[in-house]
A = this chain, B = another copy of it.
Amino acid sequence: MPSTKLDPIDRKILAELQEDGRMTNVELARRVGISAPPCLRRVRTLEEAGYIRGYHADVDPRLLGFEVQVFAMVGLSSQAEADLVAFEELCRSWPLVRECHMLNGEIDFILKCVAPDLSTFQSFLTGQLTAAPNVASVRTSLVIRGAKDAPGVPFDVMEERLSRSA
């Protein structure tokens, strides 16, 4: 599974599947301008090479009863690698934490969390997150409303750069 360079058709496939991950292979093939068999082979190759990590339905948290979304900025008291990894592992074990990113600067981690209601989140915050070993500070901000939620990467920016360097 070598990460050989992508050609324009591969990039178009990725852009299309990022936009609509459930598109049929023949429709995808039609859009990228090749026939179905090579298109399917390319998709499999892209999956195996790791360009495509998976396919996910994008569900509406609020409709499903997750009314609360929160960003939590976490500072640790020790940044030793073992302690960082321990905290990351803890985040992976918490279902309410959907994303966890390690950052530079004063904040060590940013967490995106969801919860059915505020009291559920508060009890997670005080009982689990703030109480976890090595956690020095937690600042939380409720999401008032979402303004943009685009998946993955901007392929138009990518194409623009590639044509500039050509």
Contacts and interface: CB of A to CB of B under 8 A. Distances in A.
Nearest to A117: B161
A66 B161 CA distance: 11
Interface string A143-166: 111111111111011100100000
Contacts of A92: 147-148
Nearest to A85: B147
A64 B116 contact: no
Interface in A67-110: 69, 71, 88, 91-92, 95-105, 107, 109-110
Interface in A107-144: 107, 109-110, 114, 116, 139, 141-144
Contact of A59 (B53, B71, B88): B53
A114 B154 contact: yes
A61 B141 contact: no
Contacts of A149: 98-100
A37 interface: no
A59 B6 CA distance: 13
A56 B99 contact: no
A21 to B, nearest CB: 4
Contact of A14 (B22, B51, B57, B91): B57
Interface of A: 3, 6, 14, 17-22, 49-61, 63-66, 69, 71, 88, 91-92, 95-105, 107, 109-110, 114, 116, 139, 141-154, 156-158, 161
7 contacts: A21-B56, A55-B55, A56-B56, A95-B154, A98-B148, A102-B143, A116-B158
